[in-house]
A and B are shown apart, each in its own frame.
Chain A
Amino acid sequence: VVAPTTGSIGVRTNEFFASMNALSASPTDDASRADVVAKAGSLAQAFNDASAGLTQTRVDLLSRAQSVAGEVNDKLSRIATLNKAIIEATSLGNPAADLRDQRDVLVGDVSDRIGARSIEDKDGSVTVFAAGMTLVERLQAVTLSVAPDSTGALKIQATRPGGSATDITANVTSGTLGGLREARDADIPAVTSRLDQLANDIATAVNTVHATGVGLDGVSGRPLFAPPTGVPGAAATLAVDAAILGHPERIGASPNVGSLPGGNQVAVQLAQLAGAALGSGTTTPAQRYGSITGDFGITKASADSDLQMRRDTVSTAKTLQESASGVSLDEEMVNMTRFQRAFEASTRVLKTADELLAGLMQML
């Protein structure tokens, strides 16, 4: 979304400034003027697409978070049901191993999704904790709900049966839900905000210079991009100014009316913005975009590396668990053979004793 292989903001920015440079060599050329308008439109579209892509990703992540919450609710409810069955079985002296196995799997699944921990009580039931609250206690399970709050951020609430909803958003920091929340409400907004700032700064810088230029119609003071109303949303709404759309002759390439129509100094200044520090910063538009994509790449690479490390950790833990509680078919086979031989030996002893007794009986 931020750095597509074709038509990225970086590529469109380069094309826009290149078209401005071409205009500086041919300020009276209609095709060069039309190309500037087209390239400005493509640049605006690249910002719009990136912003829309990020917004859609947030929508998708909300939907996914809601699905995950639904899965957690189902599993919490089943854990509570199993708790009931296990309590009853335990009270009758039955360890209910199968039911416990089923419940362990469900607790593991809940833990995957929201980073839960569990404690088994004396009566055989488990209490499941996550995000600073009890999710399952004996026969009762809370219900999680996920919805956007007034700012559009994820709001995760837990509701006890017959109780009121508790906001646990800030405590959901691990598991699938924690990851979705961080990606949706921290990582993506950070990128969106930086893209908005970049779009705003490019539009403002271009408009400031362009306003000093005079169009072939003798009018100056026009913006090239529709002036952003503010930084938030600048990338989503960036567009060529309505007065310029369809009127390439209005592009202000000339520094004054007296230099029309061949005056090009404003076009030169606009082309020079490609290599100039943008806004109040010290980096060029390309460097700013490179920094955004680079940081995004670092976040992604770091997440990949983190994922690999966690997979290894889980694998090691599973290996240890398996080693302690799992079954080795070879080992069991050996044991089975050993016991079989022991059984055969004892059978032989019995048979021998029987034969001895039979012989003795005959002698008598």
Chain B
Amino acid sequence: MRVTNNILFDTVDRANALSTERLVAASRVASDGVRVVKPSDDPAAFATIVDDDARLAVLASRSKTIGRVTAELQTAETTLASAGELLIHARELSLQASNGTLDASSRAVIGVEISQIRSALLSMANTRGSNGYIFGGTRTDTPPFDPTGAFVGNDNAMTLEIATGVTLRVNPSGARAFTPAGGRDVFADLDALATALGSNDLVGINTSLDTLDADHRQVLSTRVDVGLTCERLSSSTDVTDTAVEVLRTARAQLSEADIVGAYSNLAQAQSAYERGVQVSKTILSVSSVNRG
């Protein structure tokens, strides 16, 4: 085949354009370390990256909400622990008052202390968290227990998705902790004890020993439920964190460039470019016309 000067120029031109294009692409990958920036870089990988990003967003968001709810539940657990201790103290006072040697005035003094315990317990049952009143079910905007100890909240659940398709109740049940919904009306029991102490009613005082035991078990049971919920949330966080790591690794493998490979490609592209320029110079300078 005859090689004309136009063929020579066109060949050099095309070779240089290709090596420049390759050099620019290799420079971009080596400088930002990202292999897939736009869909045409690797269409299948781009679609998978979009899906991975959505999964990561869901997991990150889930992790955040679990953290927030866990903080709320820890407040509830601490509050229920303190409530349990108050009830133990109330039972100890009740046991002390049931001693037959105590006179009416001493029992009346214990009755005053029981009333103070009741007030402290009422205050605990009306504890506020970042989402409002903790023990009011979904009625978080008003104190769930009025001054008489009557429950004005509800026992509706607030749920959270802790894994795909798995939801869990995440608000503690004030109804089951303090009201007959859990078995006993804790505030009514304390009121009954205070009344029995005030009226020096030994039978009533003795009866309260059993009811306070039941009250304590009831509060404890709700505390255990809260603790179990915290544990499930914690294990869900672990699973979520692991899934995030796995997905991030998978995403990085798809989207990010192997740095060593990227630099190697850049070096190759640069070398090819320089060789191309040198070859062009040589080819274009070789002509019998120039030697004329």
Contact = CB atoms under 8 A, between A and B. Distances in A.
Interface of A: 2-3, 5, 10-11, 13-15, 17-18, 21-22, 24-29, 254, 258-265, 268, 271-272, 274-275, 284-287, 289-291, 293-298, 300-301, 304, 311, 315, 318-320, 322-324, 326-331, 333-334
A259 B137 CA distance: 8
B206 to A, nearest CB: 41
Contact of A294 (B6, B47, B61): B47
Nearest to A16: B57
Contacts of A263: 138, 156, 158
B171 A24 contact: no
B289 A274 contact: no
A300 B156 contact: no
B274 interface: no
A323 B11 CA distance: 13
B7 interface: yes
A326 B4 contact: yes
B249 interface: no
Contacts of B137: 259, 262
A318 B10 contact: yes
Contact of B43 (A18, A22, A297): A297
Contacts of A264: 138, 158-160
Interface residues of B, number: 60
Contacts of A27: 131, 158
A28 B131 contact: yes
Interface stretch (B62-70, B82-90, B94-102, B103-111): B62-70
A207 to B, nearest CB: 20
B203 interface: no
Given A17-B58, A268-B167, A262 B159 contact: no
A22 B62 CA distance: 8
A259 B49 CA distance: 39
Contact of A293 (B10, B46, B131, B171): B46
B148 interface: no
Interface in B29-78: 37-44, 46-51, 53-55, 57-58, 60-62, 64-65, 68-69
A268 B41 CA distance: 36
Contact of B289 (A13, A22, A290, A330): A330
Given A285-B54, A304-B40, A323-B2, A259 B138 contact: yes
B46 A297 contact: yes
Contact of B158 (A262, A271, A320): A262
Select the residue from A13, A14, A28, A260 with max chain B CB neighbours within 10 A. A14
B287 A330 contact: yes
Contacts of A328: 2-5
Contacts of A319: 1, 7, 10-11
Given A293-B39, A300-B39, A323-B1, A21 B47 contact: no
Contacts of B154: 258-259
B40 A300 contact: yes
A272 B61 CA distance: 12
A296 to B, nearest CB: 5
Contacts of A324: 2
Contacts of B50: 10, 286-287, 289-290, 293-294
B47 A293 contact: yes
Please give me the 10 A-B residue pairs with the lowest Cβ-Cβ distance, nearest first: A297-B39, A286-B54, A294-B47, A297-B43, A326-B4, A14-B57, A290-B50, A290-B47, A262-B138, A25-B65
B288 interface: yes
Nearest to B157: A265
A327 B7 contact: no
B22 interface: no
A148 B14 CA distance: 38
A320 B2 CA distance: 9
Contacts of A262: 131-132, 136-141, 156, 158, 171
B256 interface: no
A259 B139 CA distance: 7
Nearest to A285: B54
A347 to B, nearest CB: 21
A268 B161 CA distance: 7
B164 interface: yes
Contact of A296 (B5, B39, B41): B39
A333 B288 contact: yes
A201 B6 CA distance: 57
Nearest to A26: B131
Given A284-B54, A289-B50, A330-B288, A21 B62 contact: yes
B4 A323 contact: yes
B147 interface: no
Nearest to A8: B50
A24 B160 CA distance: 7
Given A24-B65, A263-B156, A293-B47, A17 B5 contact: no
